[in-house]
Amino acid sequence: MLIHLLSEVLVYPRNIRFSKKMIKILEDKIIKHTERIFYTIGLLVALVLLIL
């Protein structure tokens, strides 16, 4: 999926507006995933500290 989106951005360099839109969508997805990962790590650390 990610490779497909990147290839579309690379294949259509002339359509700058389309590329910027796709890049923005990718950035939003990456930010959401990293936030979720950090949130999960935070919960795990909190649980470990409570157990200890």
DSSP 1-52: -HHHHHHHHHH-SS-HHHHHHHHHHHHHHHHHHHHHHHHHHHHHHHHHHHH-
Res 16: pLDDT: 62
Res 25: pLDDT: 86
pLDDT (tens digit, 9 = 90+) per residue, 5-36?
Answer: 666 666 665 666 666 787 888 888 888 889 99
DSSP 10-22: HH-SS-HHHHHHH
Put simply, whether the predicted model's pTM sits higher than 0.85 gets the answer no
Rounded to 10 deg, the angle between the 2-11 and 16-51 helix axes is: 150
